[in-house]
């Protein structure tokens, strides 16, 4: 290495200045010229390097770097010309020129294929035209973006202010967009709903059906579905809605879209509140059922009346016909017997009509409570005496009344229905000679009536039907009856806001206890 340096620096040559005979003017001219050329050659690559670093987007920046190296090398050779005026290092000068030649040749080779590409670059006029076109496109794009933004704003405004519930939900059923109408339907705020899913407010009985319909959409078996279901309002009450739901999928830009289902994205739901309609339907259904019950009741009334009136009418007709045809031949006693039969049957028919009219008023909702003050003890004794007289001492009656029952306030007509039906049934369903007990207790809060018989009793399996209209136990046999008595008692007790209970055993007897609210009236 040292030998090479010695070879390059120590040479037998004379300095280049000798060639100029060291004439100051000529030497100075070369010094100044080469120095200025070198300075220019150094400033040009520095400027180009700065420019290239600032404009990294320039095409062919590699060729710029080659020009920088080539010009820098040229400047160095001119500096070497100044040096060799006094120092004959011509090998170094030649080596620098060789390096410059290599860089120059390489640059020229790289430049040739770039000429067509450079020629293809647009001129300023073309660039200006492109710039104008780009500005136009940019203005159009901004206009389109503005219209799109306005359209989107109009869409979401319509979404939020729609007169029906609207919601967007992900594939797991979580809402990510809801409108105000939907919030009003379920009573939750938008923030609350966005943290919930549809299952959390759906009635438990409707969740499975909802998921089945959703799977139809996900599997491509349906494009949409409608479902009537129940939501649970925030305050706890049930809200009936009709839900229309569809599924948004990715779309394809080809002709086979119909044959390929895009990836499911989210659900679109429309919700309408139909609670009022459901209530109206329920009320209509109840009204129709009530009308049906009334129609059946009328039919049963007619059937019962035609059956129950036939016997007394036949008796009345028979006795009156006998009196008409043979009355002049009958003794006074026999005439009286037939007249008593007619009176008894007329009374029975009157009682039956009263029962029918009473139940008719109950079913029509026209029966009201009419409170009056009366002497309960006298009132009860009169009714029991009437029933006992009609029984003609076939049964033994034990009647006891305790407490201050002289003057009370209650509905005397309802009281008559209660006492008459309970005591009459006790006589009717008890064998001859049986003991009938009637106990009445009065205090400041209530009146308690207990009627106990030794009759046929009520089968356990039929006791829950006991107060149903027209119901009669299976063990009544040939004992006549309409099935209205206990139904009337039940309605009369409830209308008086009282309670009725009973105990019964087949073959032993039945005990009814009625509690009616009342209070003693001072006189």
204 contact partners, CB below 8 Å, separation of at least 6: none
- Tokens matching residue 130: 């492109």
Distance CA 222, CA 216 (A): 6
163 DSSP 8-state letter? S
When pLDDT is averaged across residues 327-342 and rounded to a whole number, the result is 80
If one compares 454 and 91, the residue with the highest pLDDT of the two is 454
* Confidence category of residue 437, pLDDT binned at 50, 70, 90: very high
When pLDDT is averaged across residues 494-503 and rounded to a whole number, the result is 92
Q: CA angle, 244 as apex, 243 and 246 as ends, to 5°? A: 135
Distance CA 335, CA 323 (A): 7
Phi and psi, residue 360, nearest 5°: -60, -40
Predicted local distance difference test score (pLDDT) of residue 519: 52
**Count of all residues that appear for the chain in the document:** 523
Distance CA 228, CA 243 (A): 6
Distance CA 304, CA 298 (A): 10
> From the centroid of its chain, how far is CA 330?
85
Question: What's the first-to-final CA gap in the chain, in angstroms?
Answer: 149
Q: Look at residues 23, 104, 14 and name the one whose alpha carbon lies nearest to residue 67.
A: 104
Q: Would the pLDDT of 334 be above 90?
A: no
Predicted local distance difference test score (pLDDT) of residue 520: 47
At 196 the three-state DSSP class reads: coil
Per-residue pLDDT reduced to its tens digit, 262-314: 889 999 999 999 999 999 999 998 888 877 776 676 666 666 666 566 667 77
* Confidence category of residue 523, pLDDT binned at 50, 70, 90: very low
> CA 43 → CA 77, 82, 84, 105, 340, distances in Å?
15, 18, 23, 22, 151
Is there a contact between 499 and 432 (Cβ–Cβ < 8 Å)? Answer: no
Per-residue pLDDT reduced to its tens digit, 95-143: 888 888 888 888 888 878 877 776 666 667 776 887 888 888 888 888 8
Q: Look at residues 250, 269, 282 and name the one whose alpha carbon lies nearest to residue 193.
A: 269
Lowest mean pLDDT segment, chosen from 180-184, 255-259, 356-360:
255-259
> From the centroid of its chain, how far is CA 308?
56
Per-residue pLDDT reduced to its tens digit, 248-274: 998 765 555 555 678 899 999 999 999
Distance CA 506, CA 115 (A): 124
Q: Would the pLDDT of 449 be above 80?
A: yes
Q: Would the pLDDT of 7 be above 60?
A: no
Is there a contact between 483 and 469 (Cβ–Cβ < 8 Å)? Answer: yes
DSSP 435-492: EEEEEEEE-SSEEEEEEE--S----GGGGGGTTSTT---TT-TT----S-HHHHHHHH
Contacts 24+ apart (CB under 8 A), 208-215: 210/243, 213/245, 214/173, 214/245, 214/267
Domains of the chain, first to last: 2-120 (no CATH), 162-273 (3.30.450.20), 279-367 (1.10.287.130), 369-517 (3.30.565.10)
* Confidence category of residue 244, pLDDT binned at 50, 70, 90: very high
Q: Between the ranges 12-26, 39-53, 118-132, 226-240, where is the mean pLDDT highest?
A: 226-240
Predicted local distance difference test score (pLDDT) of residue 260: 62
Q: What is the 3-state secondary structure (H, E, C) of 489-508?
A: HHHHHHHCCCEEEEEEECCC
Predicted TM-score (pTM) of this structure: 0.47
């Amino acid at each position: 290495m040292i030998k090479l340096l010695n070879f390059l620096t120590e040479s037998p040559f004379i300095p280049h200045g000798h060639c100029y005979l060291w004439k100051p003017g000529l030497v100075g001219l070369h010094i100044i010229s080469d120095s200025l050329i070198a300075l220019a050659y150094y400033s040009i690559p520095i400027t180009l390097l700065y420019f290239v670093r600032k404009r990294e987007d320039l095409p062919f920046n590699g060729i710029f770097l080659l020009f920088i190296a080539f010009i820098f090398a040229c400047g160095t050779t001119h500096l070497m010309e100044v040096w060799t005026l006094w120092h004959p290092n011509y090998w170094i000068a030649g080596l620098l020129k060789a390096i410059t030649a290599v860089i120059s040749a390489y640059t020229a080779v790289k430049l040739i294929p770039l000429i067509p590409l450079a020629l293809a670059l647009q001129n300023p006029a073309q660039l200006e035209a492109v710039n104008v076109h780009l500005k136009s496109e940019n203005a159009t794009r901004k206009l389109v973006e503005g219209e799109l933004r306005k359209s989107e704003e109009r869409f979401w405004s319509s979404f939020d202010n729609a007169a029906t519930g609207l919601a967007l939900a992900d594939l797991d059923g979580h809402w990510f967009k809801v409108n105000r109408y939907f919030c009003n339907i379920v009573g939750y705020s938008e923030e609350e709903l966005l943290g919930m899913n549809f299952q959390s407010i759906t009635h438990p009985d409707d969740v499975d059906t909802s998921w089945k319909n959703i799977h139809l959409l996900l599997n491509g078996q349906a494009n949409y579905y409608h479902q009537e279901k129940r939501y649970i309002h925030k305050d706890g009450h049930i809200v009936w809605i009709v839900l229309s739901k569809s599924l948004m999928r990715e779309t394809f830009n080809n002709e086979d879209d119909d044959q390929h289902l895009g990836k499911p994205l989210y659900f679109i739901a429309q919700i309408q509140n139909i609670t009022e309609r459901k209530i109206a339907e329920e009320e209509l259904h109840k009204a129709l059922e009530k009308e049906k019950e009334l129609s059946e009741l009328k039919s049963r009334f007619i059937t019962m009346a035609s059956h129950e009136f036939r016997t007394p009418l036949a008796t009345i007709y028979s006795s009156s016909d006998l009196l008409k045809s043979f009355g002049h031949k009958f003794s006074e006693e026999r005439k009286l017997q037939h007249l008593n039969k007619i009176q008894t049957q007329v009374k029975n028919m009157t009682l039956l009509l009263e029962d029918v009219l009473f139940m008719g008023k109950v079913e029509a909702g026209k029966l009201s409570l009419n409170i009056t003050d009366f002497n309960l003890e006298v009132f009860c004794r009169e009714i029991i005496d009437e029933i006992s007289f009609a029984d003609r001492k076939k049964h033994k009656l034990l009647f006891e009344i305790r407490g201050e029952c002289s003057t009370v306030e209650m509905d005397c007509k309802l009281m008559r229905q209660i006492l008459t039906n309970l005591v009459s049934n006790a006589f009717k369903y008890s064998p001859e000679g049986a003991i009938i007990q009637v106990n009445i207790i009065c205090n400041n809060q209530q009146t308690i009536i207990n009627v106990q018989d030794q009759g046929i009793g009520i089968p356990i399996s039929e006791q829950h039907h006991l107060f149903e209209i027209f119901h009669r136990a299976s063990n009544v046999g040939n004992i006549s009856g309409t099935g209205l008595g206990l139904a009337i008692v039940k309605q009369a007790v409830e209308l008086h806001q009282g309670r009725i209970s009973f105990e019964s055993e087949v073959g032993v007897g039945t005990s009814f206890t009625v509690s009616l609210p009342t209070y003693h009236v001072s006189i």
